[in-house]
Amino acid sequence: MTRFYELGHDESSPWKGWFEARHLWKMPGAHCPQCDAIWNTPAIAYPCVDLSNHPERHKLEKARLEEDFAEFERLRSVLRPFVPQEAPLEPGTMFGPLVGTIKGELGPLVLPRSGFHMLARRDILELLQSTSVRGLLGCPTRLRSSRSNGPEFLELQIEPHGLLHPQCLPPGKVAPCARCGRYDISLPESPILDAASLPRHLDLFRLANFPTLLIATERFKEGVERHAPHCLSFRELPPR
Ligand SMILES: [Zn+2]
């Protein structure tokens, strides 16, 4: 049985650098007529999706709220072909490269303390890919470094797959809003993964019903501990 881990920032990391960046395109936030929530995801990004020739791109360049829910739904259906078929397409979903700056020195894998997007140095990503870690997709970034000749960093496209188990959620909060897709849940004290929902083809993903939670398999953990130690922390989460 595969073991699964929640990923975090390793507080013992010797690298003190950081990055400030945003994705080039972003779905607007939405105001749902059914559940009345005004919201957007802080986490879900598809950095390998290039919308630079897309006719709707100008509507996605600035963070904004779309009050007209029919217009939000239209945009969502237009963008649907760019994301995995079964994945949620939430308000605020980001596309395209991270644009911004790197300050100081970054480790080979970077998950900021309160961030949901992960950078990988190209050589480490290629090493992990060559050592049978599955489904790692590195996407180009537009990050300027304050150090001249800094190494190249790619962003990992971490897709939403798999669910928290209904048994660790409050009754009545298991299903998302049928109209906007929002899950009205906070992180349980002891998260349990819904084993049947977990992807079989990926060693790194985020949960579809709690996308700020990044999940890795034992295989990813072993690869990272071997080739990029002191970058990430791992907390085991039980599947059921
Ligand atoms: Zn809703």
Contacts of residue 70, defined as CB under 8 A and 6 or more positions apart, other chains included, come to none
184 alpha carbon to ligand 1 midpoint, in Å?
Answer: 9
Same domain, 80 and 109: no
User: Are 135 and 165 found together in one domain?
Assistant: no
Same domain flag for 39 and 83: yes
Residue 171's domain comprises: 4-12+161-237
- Asked if 149 and 178 sit in the same domain, the reply is no
**Separation of CA 217 and ligand 1 centre (Å):** 32
CA of 174 to the centre of ligand 1 (A): 14
Q: Are residues 176 and 204 in the same domain?
A: yes
Q: How far, in Å, is the centroid of ligand 1 from the Cα of 94?
A: 19
CA of 66 relative to ligand 1 center, distance in Å: 14
Same structural domain, 50 and 86:
yes
Q: What is the pLDDT of residue 237?
A: 98
C-alpha 37 to ligand 1 mean position (Å): 6
Report the separation in Å between the CA atom of 61 and the middle of ligand 1, taken as the mean of its atom positions. 24
Span from the CA of 104 to the centroid of ligand 1 (angstroms): 41
Q: Are 228 and 176 contained in the same domain?
A: yes
- Beta-carbon neighbours within 5 Å of ion ligand 1: 32, 34-35, 177, 179-180
Give the integer Cα–Cα distance in Å for 69 and 87. Answer: 20
pLDDT at position 1, please? 81
User: What separation in Å is there between the alpha carbon of 178 and the centre of ligand 1?
Assistant: 7
Looking at the structure, tell me whether residues 222 and 166 fall in a common domain.
Answer: yes
Instruction: Please give the chain's pLDDT, 240 residues, in tens.
Output: 899 999 999 999 999 999 999 999 999 999 999 999 999 999 999 999 999 999 999 999 999 999 999 999 999 999 999 998 888 899 999 999 999 999 999 999 999 998 999 999 999 999 999 988 999 999 999 999 988 788 999 999 999 999 999 999 999 999 999 999 999 999 999 999 999 999 999 999 999 999 999 999 999 999 999 999 999 999 999 999
Examine the domain organization and report whether 146 and 173 are in the same domain: no
Does 175 share its domain with 228?
yes
Rounded to the nearest angstrom, the distance between the alpha carbon of 30 and the centre of ligand 1 is: 9
Q: What are phi and psi of 230, to 5 degrees?
A: 65, 20
Q: Report how far apart, in Å, the C-alpha atoms of 143 and of each of 101, 113, 119, 146 are.
A: 5, 19, 11, 10
For position 146, what pLDDT does the model report?
81
- Residue after which a domain boundary falls, among 156, 174, 200: 156
Distance 203 CA to ligand 1 centre (A): 31
Q: How far is CA 161 from the centre of its chain?
A: 10
- In a shared domain, residues 83 and 146: no
* 82, 47: one domain: yes
Query: Residue 150: what pLDDT?
Result: 86
Split into its structural domains, the chain has a count of: 3
